[in-house]
Amino acid sequence: MTAGADGGTDPKHQGQFFIGGEFTDPRSPGRLTVTEAASGATLAEVADAEGEDVDQAVSAARRALPGWAATPPVQRADHLAMLAEGIKGRTEELARTISQEVGTPIRQSRAVQLGNPIAITAHIAEILRDYPFEEEIGNCLVVREPVGVVAAITPWNYPLQQVMAKVAAALAAGATVVLKASEVAPLTALMLGEIAQAQGLPPGVMNVLVGRGAVAGEALVTHHGVDQVSFTGSTKAGRRISELAAATVKPVTLELGGKSASLVLEDADIATAAKFAVYNAFLNSGQTCTALTRLLVPERMAAAAVEVAVATARKLVLGDPLDESTRLGPLASQAQLDRVRSYIARGVAEGARLVLGGAEPPDGLEQGYFVQPTIFDQVLPEMVIAQEEIFGPVLSIITYSDEDQAVEIANGTPYGLAAAVWSADRARAINFARRLRAGTVEVNGGAFSTSAPFGGLKQSGHGREFGRFGMEEFLMPKSLQL
């Protein structure tokens, strides 16, 4: 899949899967349509995997497992480093494809959608070179062995980052992988197969399918040749995967939804905190699981928070994601557009005050999956827009009367993926962060790290990704009694 004359993607492998080191024709006849987020037009037609395709990919992964597990860690690290370089070498093409599939503005695609997976893969390669796979505990030699064949089921919002968070970690551990990419944004996963082939990754170590979750995804989760499942997606789908995996007692790593709070303490600078909240909540048009979509402020700061948030959001240029000046692109699909608009209408119906945006199409952008950047204030913690993940550029401003109530509101959703705290006193902010039930807490705008452990609590899932923590999800300790 190479760049075409118009900057698009060559359809060479769009109707195939990457299995056993080769691009192969599907066993199933079905096809899926990939649409361009900015126009709704057809971008590609891809194969739709079913049971026989899954069997073929799992068989390839099982055949490759003994050799890959026995490959010295330093050599596995070399392969991962080459994958990182291969991705880096195709940054512009990959970034453009993601912008077309997902709607991410091109500058953000380069910096985040490509920058993060390159960093994730390169970092795990470095960790692998010195990782202690064996240790002595008393009279035991404890060895860490790969779990086996991993089914990696990934979402559409960060289609290469979430792939490499799973694939790089599993390969580092010595496991082999069957990747099922999202049918909404599958093209970069197929391009990754090309990169793996070009870089000489051993056949069968990584296999790539595209298909629907209810068919290909469930076939993978229930397959007796799969030893572990790693899934990123909705909480509803995560529950279903857990139920299916229980039949064969497979371990499951889940990174699910979020309804994250950015909590502003009395001594914080509201202008800085409110600007950050908008930029974070609207990153990737709000299609980010860690988006800080609830801004919690002291009652006396509410008016200032609204003023700053609205002024900041108005400066975001909404438009074609391939335009270098665009800061806010479309959503990824018609289904996503309908979902977000329905939540905006629900917020109005519940009595929250709409201070910016709304459910109507933006002027001049009636084609494609565009939604206005939207801000509500006078939002009550129990409202649906304050409890459920919207996955669009919608920010809710909520007030609190004291710090205990602030913690209660921040922790008062089914989710626990991310949060943020703002204070002029760093030590105070850290102490406050300890009270928040979230897997990741940003303190005073601390940068998101792809080296530290990432994952959630409660209905945001379990298990961790990134760095050595992500690799250890795919390692099983064995005790040799000496």
* Catalytic residue set: 255, 289
What's the per-residue H, E or C state across 377-422?
ECCCCCCHHHHCCCCCCEEEEEEECCHHHHHHHHCCCCEECEEEEE
Token readout for 279 is: 């930029």
Residue 9 DSSP label: B
- 149 phi and psi, to 5 degrees? -90, 130
| CA–CA distance, 417 with 438 (Å, rounded to integer) | 5
Give, rounded to a whole angstrom, the gap between the first and last alpha carbons of the chain: 53
Instruction: Compute the distance between CA of residue 45 and CA of residue 36 in angstroms, rounded to an integer.
Output: 12
* Pairs from 377-380 (Cβ < 8 Å, separation ≥ 24): 377/302, 377/305, 377/306, 377/352, 377/353, 378/351, 378/352, 378/353, 379/294, 379/347, 379/352, 380/350, 380/351, 380/352
Dist CA 437 CA 429 (whole Å): 14
Q: Which residues pair with residue 136 across a beta bridge?
A: 141
Could you give the CA distance from residue 67 to residue 241 in angstroms, rounded to a whole number?
29
- For residue 135, the number of C-alpha atoms closer than 13 Å in the C-beta half-sphere is 6
- Cα separation, 410 vs 416, in Å, equals 9
Cα–Cα distance, 262 to 48 (Å, whole number): 40
| Sign (positive or negative) of CA dihedral 309, 284, 365, 5 | positive
Helix (H, G, I), strand (E, B) or coil at 138: coil
Residues in the chain: 482
CA gap 30, 50 in Å, rounded: 9
Give one DSSP letter per residue of 250-284, joined into a string.
--EEEE-----EEEEPTTS-HHHHHHHHHHHHTGG
